[in-house]
Amino acid sequence: MNIINELSWVTGGPQGSGVDTSANIFARACYLAGLHIYGKREYHSNIKGEHSYFTIRVSNKTIRSHLDRIDMLVALDAETIFRHLSYVSKGASIIYDSSLNDKRLEDINTIGDVARRRIETFLKSKNKNSVKDMLDSVRDECSICSIPFNELLSQLAAERGESMLSRLTRVTNIMSVASSLALLDLDVKYIHDAIKSIFKSKTNVIALNIDAANKAYNYTKAKYDISKRFVSKSLDNLILLQGTQAAALGKISAGCRFQTYYPITPATDESEFLESNQIISNIDGTKGSLVVIQTEDEISAITMATGAAIAGARSSTSTSGPGFSLMAEGLSWAGMNEVPVVITLYQRAGPSTGLPTRHEQGDLLFAINAGHGEFPRAVIASGDVEEIYYDTIRAFNYAERYQMPVIHILDKALANSLVTCKVYDTSKIKIDRGLLIDSVNGDYKRFRLSDDGISTRVRLGTENGIFWNTGDEHDEYGHITEDPEMRDIMMEKRMKKLDTMLRDLSNEEKAIFYDNNSDKTIITWGSPKGAILDAISMLDNTFNMLQIKLLQPFPSSYISEVLSNTQMVIDVEMNYSAQLAKLIKLYTNKEVDYRIVKYNGRPISADELYYALSNIINGSKERRVVLRNGV
């Protein structure tokens, strides 16, 4: 038995077979046992049959990313063994269904030619290609636990008086999780509690799953030794949630009361979560509510959200790249009319439909430039699930304070990761509605000129506060003008708000500098933050990291200042062309020294980044490094 601080656990199976549920239950059980979780979900754009898998990294200290390395692999189908075995570490445990032994590579039609060739290379032989052959190749280094799930199921059916075995097959997932817990010597009660919390009020389902879990747990304990045991628990007060839930919670706290969306991966979960929680309890005992509208397309989503914002609601829409493309004209209109609307942009791998369920950060420059003409907007990016909550609230405050659209960029990795983070401090969430006024005296001009470019704003329906909006250039009242002088005045009024914003914001709102007193600094934005911090700590803190949060208006002077004190700058991001490096060059005239990029749709892991950074420390001359790990 090994005493461990952390574990990288993977389960896989055909889509629609319950892989997600079992991973959620494993994560929750470990979370209830007092451990930190970083869970990464990988799935195809498919409903049933294609291979999906879930990586859950568990630790007794804070973790921020996944590892490619696998310490415990749970396989209920042969494909999981074929696809993932090459990543298992020395000493790993492999839990698998003993009935899979004779399955051969060529039997599995969901493995395409390219993946097949990779697996054959691993096996070094075309003839020895069964599950058993695969496992034989690692038997010396790993402990292999074969579990007769079918037999256990039959026993379970007999005990429960269930004649239809097929009704029970779904619980094999839960059994495999129970076996995992048994090997880790974690108390079976954690899986009971996790089952209850996932299946909520479905009492029959809960009872069945608990019976199944006990059966597998006891079988595994009796047959196999404990393989690993966590040395200690975490002491932090943690919550376990996904990025889309963090954004939704941020919207509720921020006072967002109107949300539109058109279904798209990976953004939809956020809107559905909001709709499930649309009645809001306020601390003063009153009730609030959130209207969620599924629109006919994304053009309608952005324009409807804008209409609601004009009426006076804090309002937003959530989407991904294809939908955001359709929103460009509406974005420009919101900028022109100084409407505070928030767009939560969950990037996924493009171009076009791209890899619709996979990860990328390809839309940075697009978010900054989308829409015709020049107008003020803010673009902010969050680095992890904890930040998402607080940044969502900021997005609404910026939108109303500066009366402009705000794009909050997230991505698939953040959206679908299931992580523990510190319980949100909701005691003093600041709401800044800027110059929104409730009553008007005298002549009201919606676009009244001012030193900082910001005018008072009223809700539609405010007495004495009639106003006009138009996408045409307009005067202070909002009526159309084509006068060249008025044009200059209004263009300058609007654009000035970007300077105002840059003046107002603290350095922490612009970028976060993790200073390790190194002369080498990694720059990044968004979700690579986690893998970078984890890799840096594996490298004894030999790098600083600068995570840029405000990407538009670009905080040039603060970034220049930080980078001027560093010898080497390494850019890490999830796209082909190193878009952040381009912005750095544009705004600070600084050329980064190394670009570490990745665009195969799979998030950067801490271990692959560790190797890439080690190579740079060791003097590698390669200026552009492409990371290629992932299944």
Partner 1 sequence: MVSKRFTIADYKTSVHNDWCPGCGDFGILNSIQMVLTEMQLPNHKVAIFSGIGCSGKTPHYINVNGIHTLHGRVLPYAIGAKLANPNLEVIAVGGDGDGLGIGAGHFVNIGRRNIDLTYIIFDNGVYGLTKGQASPTLKLGIKTKSLPNPNINQNINPIALALVAGFTFIARAYSYDIKHLKDVIRKAIEHKGLAFIDVLQPCPTYNDIYTREWFAGEGNMDPTTMKERSRVYKLEDENYDPIVHEGSKEEINLKMAQAIAKSNEWDNRIPIGVFYKNEHGYIYEERIESRISDYKENPPALQKIESNGISIASIKSILQLL
**Interactions with partner 1, residue window 296-335 (CB under 8 A):** 296-297, 299-301, 303-315, 329-330, 333
Q: Which stretch binds partner 1 (CB under 8 A): 15-23, 66-74, 273-281, 543-551?
A: 273-281
The least CB distance from residue 260 to partner 1, in Å, is 7
Task: Give the pair of three-digit tokens for residue 432.
Answer: 């800044």
Nearer to partner 1, 470 or 629 (CB): 470
Nearer to partner 1, 80 or 420 (CB): 420
Q: How far apart are CA 13 and CA 21, in angstroms?
A: 11
Q: Which stretch binds partner 1 (CB under 8 A): 32-40, 53-61, 86-94, 286-294?
A: 286-294
- Answer for the pair 597, 578: CB distance below 8 angstroms, yes or no: yes
Nearer to partner 1, 396 or 610 (CB): 396
Q: Does 277 bind partner 1 (CB under 8 A)?
A: yes
The least CB distance from residue 265 to partner 1, in Å, is 22
Q: How far apart are CA 620 and CA 31, in angstroms?
A: 40
Applying CB under 8 A, the site for partner 1 has a residue count of 76
Q: 194 to 213, contacts with partner 1 by CB under 8 A?
A: none
Handedness of CA 170, 171, 174, 178 (dihedral sign): negative
Q: Does 461 bind partner 1 (CB under 8 A)?
A: yes
The least CB distance from residue 163 to partner 1, in Å, is 36
Q: 462 to 501, contacts with partner 1 by CB under 8 A?
A: 462-472, 478-480
- Answer for the pair 407, 367: CB distance below 8 angstroms, yes or no: yes
- Answer for the pair 586, 529: CB distance below 8 angstroms, yes or no: no
Helices in 66-202 by DSSP H: which ranges?
Answer: 78-84, 113-123, 131-136, 149-160, 172-183, 188-199
- Residue written as token pair 């969430």: 429
Beta bridge partners of 75: 12, 96
Q: Does 146 bind partner 1 (CB under 8 A)?
A: no
Q: Which stretch binds partner 1 (CB under 8 A): 6-14, 277-285, 602-610, 612-620?
A: 277-285
Instruction: From 7, 120, 140, 149, select the one nearest 72 (Cα to Cα).
Output: 7
Q: Does 255 bind partner 1 (CB under 8 A)?
A: yes
Q: Does 417 bind partner 1 (CB under 8 A)?
A: no
In the DSSP assignment, the letter for residue 426 is -
The least CB distance from residue 58 to partner 1, in Å, is 18
Q: Which stretch binds partner 1 (CB under 8 A): 99-107, 255-263, 319-327, 551-559?
A: 255-263
Task: Give the pair of three-digit tokens for residue 247.
Answer: 């954004």
Handedness of CA 507, 513, 517, 522 (dihedral sign): negative
Beta bridge partners of 513: 546
Beta bridge partners of 404: none
Nearer to partner 1, 162 or 193 (CB): 193
Nearer to partner 1, 114 or 283 (CB): 283
Given 44, 116, 459, 590, the residue binding partner 1 (CB under 8 A): 459
- Residue 474 Rama label (left phi>0; alpha psi -120 to 50; beta): beta
- Maximum C-alpha span of the chain: 88
The least CB distance from residue 398 to partner 1, in Å, is 15
Question: How far apart, in Å, are the Cα atoms of 165 and each of 74, 95, 159, 244, 583?
Answer: 22, 22, 12, 36, 59
Task: Give the pair of three-digit tokens for residue 461.
Answer: 């329906």
The least CB distance from residue 6 to partner 1, in Å, is 23
Map residues 229-248 to x or -, x wherever contact with partner 1 holds by CB under 8 A: ----------xxx---x---
Given 163, 282, 506, 567, the residue binding partner 1 (CB under 8 A): 282
Given 156, 254, 385, 414, the residue binding partner 1 (CB under 8 A): 254
Q: 55 to 114, contacts with partner 1 by CB under 8 A?
A: none
